Structure 1
Amino acid sequence: MAGKQINPIVKLVLEMGPIVLFFVGYLMLRDRAFMIGGTEYEGFILVTAGFIPLILLTTFLLWKLSGHISKMQVATAVLVVVFGGLTVWLNDDRFFKMKPTMIYTLFAAVLGFGLVRGQSYLQYVMEEMMPLKQEGWMILTRRVALFFAALAVLNEVIWRTQSTDMWVNFKTFGLTIGVFGFFMLQGGLFQKYAVEEND
């Protein structure tokens, strides 16, 4: 079952679906408050509570359909459960807003650790999608590690200084566009260090 191909549209829906539903749910409930068990919860808290089982379900479905999930997906799911759970349990939205900071800091630290050891851990995750020469992988890994570190700092600045509306928009659209734009800007590196078929 390992390595089984999955329909790209299904994969995209399972990966992006929870984020889109979180955004839609937030738009619907952001101005409402709910009394549950004698405690008042804002809409953001309830949407976060719904996001936790949703991300676990989609991660499970990805594993069931493809036969494997990446370590990044596992780490993301674990951090969603931990920080989302703290958000709901303590009725404090700050924990969930910290989650992207923790995720990107973790990724940057792991990639940085690999670089210190002279290895590209990014290569282990993405080699099948983008065959590059070793030098190219090392350069790309350095750039990705710095990019993740910058995203962690940016998330901290935004959630601590801006409104929840601003943070949700940043998390839903800003991060997605940022990651897409970053890899688009690496086109020159991909061309320069691409592994030719006859290499």
Structure 2
Amino acid sequence: MSETAVKPRRRHMGQGLKVATEVGPLGVFFLVNSQSHNIFGNAEPQNIFWATGAFMIAIAISLAVAISIERRPPVMPLVSGVLVLIMGGLTLYLQDELFIKLKPTIVNSMFAAALLAGLAFGQLFLKYIFGAAFSLSDKGWRVLTWRWAGFFVFLAIVNEIVWRSFSTDLWVSFKVFGIMPITIAFALWQMRVVYRYQMDPETGEKSVEGSGGGS
């Protein structure tokens, strides 16, 4: 029996389930942060610690679901999830909310650094991650890489401004209801790049659909 006969085929989650595994933990984080003092009777300043614990559990469940369905860990959610567990664990152990607040800064900085390092060494990491979904020229992948690297830097800076300037509750609300819409809007904007540099996956030539339009 050949290796290809026994190698498990990768399955893909439905779009609804994928969104649920990505957004669900953030919803849990927000809900517990706003209501744990009513649900568990803790003092309100302790809300963030209850929320962090619930967030860690929700992240672990969402990663387990994704891995069990797709049969391999999703790269970016896995990195982010591991950092949630590390920084969340430090938050709970030291009873210091600073660590969970720093997590978005660290993870976005890591993503930006990885993308830029890849460019420096001639590696298009976005192509490896999303190549199954999009067929683009290398120039297109480079354009997307520069744009996403800049966006991750932007998210890191915004997180630093918000958590340093506003209350914990406002930071949690912004993390849940601000970052996600901004990211979705940015991703949709990048579809113009996908359209412009789209390639025919069979011929490796520029597709008819991607032959026109500007960035």
In the superposition, the TM-score normalised over structure 1's length comes to 0.90
Residue among 3, 15, 23 paired with 1:16:
23
Amino acid at match of 1:146: G
Q: What is the CA-CA distance between 1:107 and the residue it aligns to?
A: 0.3
Specify the alignment match of 2:178 in structure 1. 174
CA distance in 2, matches of 1:193, 1:2: 29
What are the Cα deviations for residues 140-163 of structure 1, in whole angstroms up to 9, with x where unaligned? 101100110111111011101111
Q: Secondary structure at the match of 1:128?
A: coil
Partner in structure 2 of residue 119 of structure 1:
123
- Retained in 2: the 8 A contact 1:33–1:43? no
- Cα 1:18–1:194, aligned 2, differ >3 Å: closer, same or farther? same
| Range that drifts further, 183-192 or 103-112 | 183-192
> Closer, same or farther in 2 for the Cα pair 1:139/1:128, shift >3 Å?
same
Task: Tell me how far apart the structure 1 counterparts of residues 176 and 124 of structure 2 sit (CA, whole Å).
Answer: 28
Distance (whole Å) between structure 2 residues aligned to residue 188 and residue 53 of structure 1 = 37
Instruction: Tell whether the 8 Å contact from 1:30 to 1:44 is kept in structure 2 after alignment.
Output: no
| Residues 37 and 47 in structure 2, CA contact (< 8 A), matched pair in contact too | yes
1:166-195 Cα distance to aligned partner (Å, 9 max, x none): 211211021111111112222321221011
> Paired residue for 2:135?
131
User: Which position in structure 2 is the counterpart of 1:34?
Assistant: 42
Stretches of structure 1 that go unaligned for 5 or more consecutive residues are none
**Rg bigger for which structure?**
2
RMSD: 2.0
Q: Where does residue 73 of structure 1 map in the other structure?
A: 77
- In structure 2, what residue type is equivalent to 1:100? P
Q: Which moved more, 1:145-154 or 1:2-11?
A: 2-11
Q: Which runs of 4+ in 1 moved over 3 A?
A: 30-33
- Equivalents in 2 of 1:45, 1:122: separation in Å? 34
1: CA distance between counterparts of 2:191 and 2:19? 22
Identity, in percent, stands at 32
Q: Kindly provide the amino acid, as one letter, of the partner of residue 42 in structure 2.
A: F
Q: Distance in 2 between matches of 1:79 and 1:168?
A: 17
Residues matched between the structures, number: 195
SS in 2 for 1:34: coil
Query: Which is richer in strand?
Result: 1
1:77 maps to a residue whose letter is: G
